[in-house]
Structure 1
Amino acid sequence: MDIESTTLGTAALAIGALGGAAQGIVDGLFKAFTWFDSAGFERVFAVGGKEGGRRFFPTHKATLDPLLPALRIAYGSDVMELLRAQYRAGRAGGDLPRTLRQGVRIGFGMMEVPTIALVATELGVSADMATLAAQAIDSARRQRSHAEQPPSQNVPMPPQEPAMSDEQRSALARLETMIDARIDAALALADTQYVSQTKFLATFVSLAISFAVGGSLGMVPDEWGWCLLVGLAAVPLTPVAKDLSTALQEATKAMKAR
């Protein structure tokens, strides 16, 4: 059979376009359903699969659950609805990273030293470093409160709070760096899981479209294998459809030139 130089390239583009359309359907239509659009959020917050992650697909151990006490202090009891809404809006590329970092700092600034130390140890920090970091946060809070008090001629000023030590300052810097890294890692894992599950669902959509088109062209059931092949290949071909079509055209031209 004579193969035209553009036949394979056109087929690759068409299959890739089918995959893109299937992913577009999943992204657009399924955004109306919180369960689908929250895919991956269980890698950020699980909370036993009730407030945060979903009960199905199988949930993984969440990274940021220990930070919830601080976030609840900062944003109130409806914090999970706020975080899930921001996750659905932009995931790692939206306002969620900034909201998490600000909420943790606000919450730590209002928590007692033992509670801060407990949160830090649940994140994996050693007990000694967690205590030093908690003491540093408490010392900074006391110094700020002392500086904000207006001077009075009748009431003597309380004694100046001692400055935090170098060890406390170092421990606090390490804790903040680790929390930032945990937030970035959790959101990266969540985004990866969202993309994977979206592609998984898009494969079923592309299969349905492929068989529907094949049925309208009279290919089913005689040539159902081609419909199956096109439906399965559509989503993986989407990112490389143009490059693949160009490569196939060049390869075809090279074969015909021999």
Structure 2
Amino acid sequence: MSSSPGNGGREYDPEAAHNFPDGRLNEVLPTLRSDPEITAYLEAQNVNAVARKGYNDHGTKHIEIVRNRALCLYDLLKGGGVAFNGASQQGLEEADEAVIVALAATLHDIGHVVHRDSHAYYSIPLAADLLDRLLREFGFYDAGEAVRMKGEVLHAILCHHTEEDPLTTEAGVIRVADALDMERGRSRIPYEEGWRGINTLSSQAIENVSVRPGDGKPVLVEISMINAAGVYQVDSLLKAKLDDSGLEDHIRIVAVNTKSDDQLVERIEL
């Protein structure tokens, strides 16, 4: 069964049994975690986001969280019988779906090194260069397969923001997983430096996010918040990412205000 129920969908466990063929993904993950060029991008991309624009962290930690949650979300959706079309429509293997998800989650924000604004578009040429090398080094793909993998990963990267609608289930997973990085502490850096924007304040209100098997839908996202400011993260950011993701019928979202003296909002369900 999936690794997600045991840890709240926080971390993908390569050693666990999964609802998909995981061998190819598990070979790729060590490279994604240790490649020097990827590591440099993940560190550099945080400068514009945090130091210059005052947004929540969009560096190494954000990428770890999004990649883990994307893979746990993917696993639960596969377990629920949800069809994935990105790899299959390109004539690729089922094992390539998870590789597409992992690559897109890892590289989706590298455009921040150019600018926070419109960063999804800047991510495309930068990720394309990295993918040319990575897909060759993985050794799984001939020239044609590498082109198809590259296209699917770039599509998922582009569609992680709401300006472009995902055309594949793999891309939908990236879009939703990106929004699931919302727990308090994720805004610690800008908050401690004095930034008090709604994005920072609202993420301070989110105590816990778990991704679990649902009842009636493959995925249940449970969100605990300690004050009503967390509504912004749930209703404005997560809902916007879920809408038109292609996963609206497969994911149930429940957010509960756990602080008894602040009941402006007690419960939200999407």
TM-score range normalised by the length of the shorter chain: under 0.3
Flag the structure with higher strand content: 2
Greater RCO, CA 8 A, separation 6+: 1
Q: Please report the TM-score for the alignment, with normalisation by the length of structure 2.
A: 0.25
Q: Please report the TM-score for the alignment, with normalisation by the length of structure 1.
A: 0.26
Flag the structure with higher helix content: 1
